[in-house]
A and B are shown apart, each in its own frame.
Chain A
Amino acid sequence: MTVGLLFDATRCIGCGACASACKEQNKLPGPVEEETSAYTWTTVKPVGDIYSRRLCMHCLVPTCASVCPVGALHKTPEGPVVYDAEKCMGCRYCMMACPFDVPKYQWDRAVPIIGKCIMCTSRVKKGEPTACAAACPAEATIFGSRADLIREAKDRIRKNPTGYVDHIYGLTEAGGTSVLMLSNQPFEKLGLKTNLPSEPPAMRTWQVLSNIPDFVAVWGVFLYGVHWITARREVVSTHTPQQKGPNTTDDTHTGSRS
């Protein structure tokens, strides 16, 4: 069973309890900032008459994990996408690649690491809800198995079709995510990207990377073949006539252009 969070923007009262609880749970320094940062893993912001929450989406096929050269990020079987600061060398490819712009960096430190929501892995492993879900007084953020949350979200839309945009954000975005969102405003108004392909971006890279072994074999044999043929030709005739050719036979084609 993989778990997840469901955030319902129509229920959020903008109290910011989730953001404070996150700071406390993960021992993040400083006050809750305006935008997510290496020290603020989740934010709540007013958008018109509703509130938008930002946090890591915990993708089913996480782009961040696929691009990290040292495997510092990975998806746990329970659902959270976690980060191993001991491995990270700070290339910031995860930040570049994440379709939701989630990972943030400690730009102000001499020994910096990435910061992002880790879905309170230690709590989740113990079967407890995340700190943000536990702190939410309005049940705007709820914790549960992803399958249950999808069922619940569909239920809410079905019962109140005029009160919601008929889409669960995170169902298919970038291949699907463990964090799901509901809203009565278009999702781009909440600052969420709506141009994401439903195929995980990691697939596009893998299509290329998985062909490398074949490519190396063919290209290697080809290069050696070229060497073999040309070297052989040199043995056959030490004087290679085609070397003279290109210097002089070019006039017709340039002449035609000028």
Chain B
Amino acid sequence: MNTSVAQPVKRFHPGFWTTVFGLVFIPFCIVTVLRFYKGLGAVTHLSDKFPWGLWIGFDLLCGVGLAAGAFTLTAVVHLFNLKKFEPIVRPTILTGFLGYIFVITALMFDLGQPWRIWHAIVYWNPHSVMFEVAWCVMLYTTILAVEFAPVVLERFGFQTPVRIIHALITPLVIVGVLLSTLHQSSLGSLYLIVPSKLHPLWYSQLLPLFFFISAIGAGIGMVILESYLSKRAFGRQLEMDLLEPLARAMVVALGIYGLLRLQAIGRNHAFSAITDFTYEGRMFLVEFVLGVLLPVVMLSFRRLRTNPRWLVTGSFLAVLGFVVNRLNVSITGMEGAAGVRYVPSLAEIIISVGLVGFGMVAFALAVRYLKIFPEHPAVTEGGPEGS
């Protein structure tokens, strides 16, 4: 069944994807030039009333969050010693690494003076969450690079550095998990400072915890999605025996998260926003029903969880809900206090979509030329439609 689906796809895709890539790439370049030549105001819908938009809400918050699969899985395999998950560690580390590169590149667009990004290293302000975020990005990207390095090194036959990294893997993973914990939660802490601005459906002193747990849920969702997508692209089998228990972990993470969120909303006396069906309430329902309730209920059933199609649907919903949550915190929840509606400009969307596209191309190339998936032979010339 799968092969019959894959056949027409194979014939159609190369031209299609090349066209898409071209369609995104050329505007991407134009926007980039305009952005740096004319300033942020010329290409974005950001303003004094709404200084943070899509590039923070999607690129930064979601980029980091969706890379959470990397630390979750390395912890599972190397710390909890569940070695059977080893085969999917490499693709998750790769996603994590690309995710962080994506975030850094997006920051290069969003910062007013990106060439000063190194200022965060020399001028310290430990009272600033943004300072913590900056250090976590830098350090964890480095850790991910080191964790991923063996894959590249072994391809070129350097054995000694690979052995050194293997010997150091436990401390590396521990530091990686520590940094990730700090980083995921600190993105939530960013919004602790705006109690008078962020809508009570989202504001809570527990924001750091919410961001952390939901990132684990969505990170696992990404692992499952990725396995599915690469299966489609490279004609591989879904590792159901690995993904099914991961789905259970996702259900638990999302379940705890959902309950905590409801408690926080209760404490803020904000349920009226939902029952009154306000703008914020509607956006919350989209986020919560799609991204928490549905996946938790669906994937609680063993019959659905063991069916690849439902498993992938559930994971997709969890990831989607996660993205909506981050956009709600950063955009929907802030619009009321700002007194303006923010809709990203086409240019902002082009940059975000373009960067995601580059990430996917990089992933596909890595899968083709490096040993990312265990049984997949590296380099199949004239291979399938990955890019």
Contacts and interface: CB of A to CB of B under 8 A. Distances in A.
A106 B39 contact: yes
Contacts of B15: none
B182 A212 contact: yes
Interface string A79-101: 00000000111111101110101
Nearest to A38: B48
Contact of A204 (B79, B125, B182, B205): B205
Interface stretch (B189-197, B343-351, B372-380): B189-197
Contacts of A208: 129, 189, 192, 208
Contact of B48 (A37, A72, A233): A37
A202 B189 CA distance: 11
B82 interface: yes
Contacts of A223: 75, 79, 174, 177-178
B175 to A, nearest CB: 8
B200 to A, nearest CB: 11
B196 to A, nearest CB: 5
A89 B132 contact: no
A111 B113 contact: yes
A188 interface: no
Given A224-B174, A226-B80, A250-B302, A71 B196 contact: no
Contacts of B116: 87-90
A195 B112 contact: no
Interface string B262-304: 0000000000000000000000000000000000000011110
B95 to A, nearest CB: 21
Most buried by B among A72, A96, A201, A247: A96
A231 B78 CA distance: 9
Contacts of A224: 170, 174
Interface in B199-248: 205, 208, 241, 244-245, 248
B78 A227 contact: yes
A208 B181 CA distance: 13
Interface string B124-144: 111111111110000000000
A205 interface: yes
Given A91-B130, A204-B195, A254-B301, A71 B52 contact: no
B123 A70 contact: yes
Contacts, number: 189
B256 interface: no
Nearest to B123: A70
B174 A201 contact: no
Nearest to B115: A89
B111 to A, nearest CB: 5
A43 to B, nearest CB: 12
Interface stretch (A61-69, A137-145, A147-155, A176-184): A61-69
A162 interface: no
Given A110-B38, A201-B195, A226-B79, A87 B51 contact: no
B37 interface: yes
Interface in A202-258: 202, 204-209, 212, 215-216, 219-220, 223-224, 226-227, 230-231, 233-234, 243, 246-247, 250-251, 254, 257-258
B117 interface: yes
B105 interface: no
A209 B188 CA distance: 12
A108 B126 CA distance: 31
Interface residues of A, number: 67
Contact of B196 (A69, A96, A193, A207): A193
A136 to B, nearest CB: 25
Contacts of A105: 40, 48, 51, 112
Contacts of B119: 69-70, 87, 89
A136 B59 CA distance: 47
B181 A219 contact: yes
Contact of B132 (A36, A195, A209, A230): A209
A71 B124 contact: yes
Contacts of B52: 92, 96
Contacts of A91: 110-112, 130
Contacts of A206: 127
Nearest to A173: B196
B161 to A, nearest CB: 23
B158 interface: no
Nearest to B330: A96
B196 A204 contact: no
Interface in B1-49: 36-42, 46-49
A203 to B, nearest CB: 10
Interface of B: 36-42, 46-49, 51-52, 75, 78-82, 84, 110-114, 116-117, 119-120, 123-134, 170, 174, 177-178, 181-182, 189-190, 192-197, 205, 208, 241, 244-245, 248, 300-303, 334
6 smallest beta-carbon distances between A and B, as pairs: A90-B112, A107-B41, A230-B81, A69-B130, A89-B116, A70-B123
18 contacts: A69-B120, A69-B123, A70-B119, A72-B123, A88-B113, A89-B111, A90-B111, A91-B112, A92-B52, A93-B128, A95-B51, A112-B40, A223-B75, A230-B81, A243-B84, A251-B302, A257-B301, A258-B301
Given A71-B123, A246-B248, 7 more contacts: A70-B125, A89-B113, A111-B113, A201-B193, A205-B189, A206-B127, A258-B303
